[in-house]
Structure 1
Amino acid sequence: MLQLENLSVRFGGLTAVNNVTFAVGTQDVVGLVGPNGAGKTTLFNAISGLVRPTGGSIRFDGADVMHAPLYKRARMGIGRTFQIPQPMHQLSVRENLLVAQRFGTGKVDQNKIDEILAFTSLDGKGCRNAATELALTELKALEVAKALATNPKLLLLDEVLAGLETTGKRRFMNMLKNLHATFGVGIVIIEHDIETISNLCHRVAVLNFGQLIADGTPDEVFSDPAVIKSYTGAEHA
């Protein structure tokens, strides 16, 4: 589905993503981890079209999307969330989803919106002002709901659990576990909590200084000396 070949992103003299080759299939649930500043969000931004790569290629469903605008990538099936929730101000929760749905699909399907609201436990909040009347857990759920409203084939989740307290994180984890099976999407999730990644993902990829240094099962990756060193500076855990 998604294929990156030698993808690089540079900002002046800084190389944020360095020759990354990486593939994600429709059945994959992949954790993307690495120290702060490793290039994880920049990689998401390159895939979704928010930044322009300086080298390499991005293919989605066999098509070259390297220079495709954001809306075309969304309509091809690339959906994403942001670490800091970004509700559309002065719109209700339902209206946020309707705008996202029209952007991603070009049409409105109220039944699909109802399904997504129920799945994300926002079905009682549809008329609430999205920017002012939701708790943090609900705002995080709205980020996922907006992404689902674009009808994605691939969902890029950027630290959707960050900042949640224990109960909210547990409830959110349960939702994420069901997301792949319910909507049939491939998932790549950025998350710092290793236990969370190990529970959610059957595959883990690690970035460090913009380079992909490991890609395998959670057990393989988190016992890799190069990964341990990238986090701790030590050769062994």
Structure 2
Amino acid sequence: MLRLEDLTVRFGGLTALNSVSFAMSDGEILGLVGPNGAGKTTLFNTISGLVRPRTGRILFEEREINRMPLHARARLGLGRTFQIPQPMHHLTLRENLTVAQVFGAGKSDPARIDEILDVMELTEHADRDAATELALQELKRLEVAKALATNPRILLLDEVLAGLESQAKRRFVDKLRELHQRYALAIVIVEHDIETISTLCSRAVVLNFGTLIADGTPAEVFRDPAVVESYTGAADA
């Protein structure tokens, strides 16, 4: 479904991604993990079109999308959230979803927006100011709702659980499982919590200093000495 081939991204003298290659299947839930500064958000930005790679290819359904603008990638089925929620100021939740829908799907579908508001438990807030009247949990749900409004086939979730307390995080993970089943989505989630990755994802890819250092089941990668060393500074004996 999605394949990355030798992606390299440089910012001046800094190599943010170094020949990263992996593929994911239709309907897969993939965890993208690694220490701070490993290149996870840069990878999302490259897939979604905010950053252009120096070398390498991004293929979606065997179609190279390296030179496609953001809206064209969204209309192919690539939806994403941002680590820091970015509601559109002075717009209601419903209007936020409408703007996202027109950008990503090319047209407005009020019935679909009502459905997403309901699924994300945001209906009662639909006409409130998205930028000023929502709690953190609601802002996180709005980020996902905006991505869903683009009719994605792959959902790229950048630390969507960050800042949530344990019970709220568990409820959000349950919601992601529901979305995965309801909309037949593939999901890539950036998350630091090992328990979340282990329970939600069938597979994990680990980056460190822009290089892919492990790819396998969560149990396999979190036992990998290179992964242990990347988090602790010292490999297990």
Instruction: Report the TM-score when normalising by structure 1.
Output: 0.98
SS of match in other structure, 1:124? helix
Q: Tell me which residue corresponds to 1:150.
A: 150
Can you list the C-alpha shifts for 1:91-144, whole angstroms capped at 9, x where unaligned? 000110011011111111111111111111101111010000100000000000
Q: Tell me which residue corresponds to 1:64.
A: 64
Q: Tell me which residue corresponds to 2:199.
A: 199
Runs of 4+ in 1 over 4 A off after TM superposition: none
CA shift at 1:166, angstroms? 2.4
RMSD, aligned α-carbons:
0.9
Q: Tell me which residue corresponds to 1:218.
A: 218
Q: Determine the C-alpha separation between the residues in 2 that align with 1:180 and 1:85.
A: 21
Can you list the C-alpha shifts for 1:17-55, whole angstroms capped at 9, x where unaligned? 000011112121000000000000000000000011100
Flag structure 1 segments of 5+ consecutive residues without an equivalent.
none
The question of 1:85 aligning with 2:85 is answered yes
CA shift at 1:57, angstroms? 0.5
Q: Tell me which residue corresponds to 1:190.
A: 190
Amino acid corresponding to residue 229 of structure 2 in structure 1 = K
Q: Tell me which residue corresponds to 1:13.
A: 13
Deviates more, 1:24-33 or 1:139-148: 24-33
Amino acid corresponding to residue 118 of structure 2 in structure 1 = A
Q: Determine the C-alpha separation between the residues in 2 that align with 1:40 and 1:81.
A: 13
| Count, aligned residues | 237
Q: Determine the C-alpha separation between the residues in 2 that align with 1:76 and 1:236.
A: 43
CA shift at 1:167, angstroms? 2.8
CA shift at 1:170, angstroms? 2.1
Flag structure 2 segments of 5+ consecutive residues without an equivalent.
none
The question of 1:27 aligning with 2:36 is answered no
Q: Determine the C-alpha separation between the residues in 1 that align with 2:129 and 2:214.
A: 42
Q: Determine the C-alpha separation between the residues in 1 that align with 2:235 and 2:173.
A: 31
Q: Tell me which residue corresponds to 1:173.
A: 173
Instruction: Report the TM-score when normalising by structure 2.
Output: 0.98
CA shift at 1:2, angstroms? 0.8
> What does 1:1-150 align with in structure 2 at a 5 Å threshold?
1-150=1-150
Percent sequence identity over aligned pairs:
66
Amino acid corresponding to residue 173 of structure 2 in structure 1 = M
Q: Determine the C-alpha separation between the residues in 1 that align with 2:173 and 2:5.
A: 31
